[in-house]
Structure 1
Amino acid sequence: MSSRPNKPSYNFAPVKDVKTLALALGLTERQLNRLAANAGNMYRRNAVAKKDGSERVTWDAHKQLKAVQGRINQLFFHKVLFPLYLQGSIRDRAYPRDYVRNAEIHAGAHIAITLDIADFFPSTRAELVRDIWKNFFRFAPDVAEVLTCLTTKDDFLPQGARTSSYLANLVFWQREHNLVETLEKRGWRYSRLTDDMTISTTADTSEKELTDINRIAIGCFQGYGYSIKRSKHKVLRRNHRVTVNSLVVNVHPALPKEERRRIRAQVHQVKQALTSGTQANMPSVASTRGKIAKVVRLHPELGARLSDAFGQAIPFDSDGSSESLDERGIAMDRACGATVAV
């Protein structure tokens, strides 16, 4: 896939004592130990309803803990070399990662297998996090214990914490690279977007081979104590639509036709509303911009047409800057009662 190593690596000196860790984090040793002891209580619970009716629970860390977790990212996780089969929430200027690049790995797939770990974050126990700090980073046991306290809550990995996505990418560090090597030797491609795994091949294959690949992959994750979500475990074939992260990859990553139609309809609706001045129940301008940007990335010609049509509905300020367009769009959203993330 690239010259990157097939296994995550950290090639810096290990932290040998808590005093050194405290100094690196800008705290006294006493402050650090106190923060670690209380870290599990320093989160605010946020629950969001999912499409299937269940809840996705995330945890927002207290300002002080969040700042220390950000420092941990800078000191340690930003220095890890992550192989390119890991595509979820990794800061990497040389090889940017996201859901589109994850889908690109599987372009032209004849067959794709999708797997999803059930309750991934709550199922990631502190024991696995401790192993990362102690054996992957090679930190001293007392340092690993303090860092485990700072990055877990009530014995699990809290989704939403600044450090959690990096730990999620490292949780299989001992065995995942072996799985990837085994799959590659058999002509299969593998990628993981946090808790969503995709395995694909550009060749036709037998049912026995499919059974073997499923057994090997599922066995790897079950070996860590995880379960695979049955509803997300699918085998997709080229004679139908093959999707990865909601993108069609039969040829190259593309938005499904019905989504493109919805976006065109939304752009038309917003354009009409802005032109006529009747903005009640109008979709968010910021949301529409975001959807246009997605089309621009995946379908440049269509995206350019939608962008031009949308831009004609929003007059430029005298300086003609794109920043003034964004500010005008946000102001319109607020006037219409929309919620805007800035």
Structure 2
Amino acid sequence: MQKLKIKTKGKSYALKDSPFYNLRTKKRLSILLGCDTKDLPLLAKDDGNYNVFSIIGKAGKPRQIHKPINKLDKIHTRIASLICRINLPSYVHSGRKKHSNLTNAKAHLSADGFDTKVLTTDIKDFFTSTRKKQVFGFFYSDLKCTADVANLLADMCTIHGHVPTGSRLSMVLAYWANYHLFEELSSLSKQHSVTMTVYVDDLTFSGTGVNELFKTVVRKVLSRYGHTMHPTKTKLYGKESPKLVTGIVVKEGQLQIRNQQFKELVTDFACWHAIRQTPHAIFDPHTYRLLGRLNSMSSIDPVFKEKAQTVKGNTCR
């Protein structure tokens, strides 16, 4: 079975040009989503529409995943494909072509080549703290759907009253459901000559206006919208300090690879050396992991692209 994918078909448009805009009837909704009208109430239920399981996260703690299945999986992919076509503000670096954690970090390199103060933070439990009422507000207030259509969409797009953690829809929907939060933070940043970027649930602010008071105001704004600034993932960096921005070190006016990446690269090379002469080693997960890391590091330092080519040439096919 072909894996479902988000498809924008190269389209992009303003919010008011979305096919969801001013959607008035459930019949029109079913046509837009490619399903029968009678299926809509069934797709709005949690039971039978999700595979719920736990994985162990990087911190070693279990994390619950809500993955839509069967018809709802197709519907979520369709909704995500349509919402992903809505133009995003320039401060958003996730879910956009030619944008990544790298462009997110680059945005915080000062034009004069000198380092500046930086605040990095993470919205704690971003998806699960984005509630159904916020999703409803996006469809009802921003996209001008009728109340019944907006409520039906909000039910179809949430589980247990919040955005699911394992859907293709999760990232883009969580952004738009919190659009007014991000716009308020963007306005606050502009008032203080601060650069702000958003990468999923990571917020980064840089500039001379970044200080403890600015951090406190950001925390209060997040709280007012029902979110929490992650207590252990919030860092206020001084002007001269190396800063870790979406996994990349910003130091002395340049982007640098973090030490943790080099340590993991040594392990990846050791695993690859052990299997590289076995038949079809080029398809081995250890080779994929090593090549993936080298390609990621090459976006900061081109020398690693050459290393990736060397690995390919020395791996059994």
Structure 1 range deviating more: 231-240 or 148-157: 231-240
Tell me: CA distance 1:35–1:122, structure 2 relative to 1, closer, same or farther (3 Å): same
1:241-285 deviation per Cα after TM superposition (whole angstroms, max 9, x unaligned): 2111121012233312452354256336524652599x9xx9711
What corresponds to 1:127 in structure 2? 133
| Alignment partners' CA distance in 1, 2:187 and 2:299 | 31
| Alignment partners' CA distance in 1, 2:225 and 2:90 | 22
Verify the 8 A CA contact 1:87 1:97 in the aligned structure 2: yes
Aligned residue among 57, 62, 72 for 1:55: 62
Correspondence list, 1:1-342, <5 A: 9-12=15-18, 13-36=21-44, 38-75=45-82, 77-88=83-94, 90=95, 92-93=96-97, 96-108=98-110, 109-201=115-207, 203=208, 210-250=211-251, 251-260=253-262, 262-263=264-265, 266-267=268-269, 270-271=272-273, 273-275=275-277, 284-304=286-306, 306-314=307-315, 328=317
Runs of 4+ in structure 1 displaced over 6 angstroms? Answer: none
What corresponds to 2:10 in structure 1? none
| Alignment partners' CA distance in 2, 1:216 and 1:258 | 32
1:196-232 deviation per Cα after TM superposition (whole angstroms, max 9, x unaligned): 111112x4x6xxx612211221121111111222111
Question: Whose Rg is larger?
Answer: 1
1:300-320 deviation per Cα after TM superposition (whole angstroms, max 9, x unaligned): 02431x1243133125xxxxx
Tell me: CA distance 1:51–1:162, structure 2 relative to 1, closer, same or farther (3 Å): closer
| Alignment partners' CA distance in 2, 1:25 and 1:16 | 14
Identity, in percent, stands at 19
Tell me: CA distance 1:138–1:290, structure 2 relative to 1, closer, same or farther (3 Å): same
TM-score normalised to the size of structure 1?
A: 0.78
What corresponds to 1:334 in structure 2? none
Tell me: CA distance 1:43–1:218, structure 2 relative to 1, closer, same or farther (3 Å): same
* Code of the aligned partner of 1:180: S
Verify the 8 A CA contact 2:104 2:199 in the aligned structure 1: yes
* Code of the aligned partner of 2:310: A
* Code of the aligned partner of 1:122: T
* Structure 2: tracts of 5 or more residues without a match: 1-13
* Structure 1: tracts of 5 or more residues without a match: 1-7, 316-327, 329-342
* Code of the aligned partner of 1:49: I
* Code of the aligned partner of 1:67: K
* Code of the aligned partner of 2:50: Y
Structure 1 range deviating more: 246-255 or 286-295: 246-255
SS of residue in 2 equivalent to 1:80: coil
Query: More helix per residue: 1 or 2?
Result: 1
SS of residue in 2 equivalent to 1:53: coil
* Code of the aligned partner of 2:73: K
* Code of the aligned partner of 1:28: D
1:150-184 deviation per Cα after TM superposition (whole angstroms, max 9, x unaligned): 10011111111121111111122224223212212
Question: How many pairs are equivalent?
Answer: 294
Verify the 8 A CA contact 2:124 2:230 in the aligned structure 1: yes
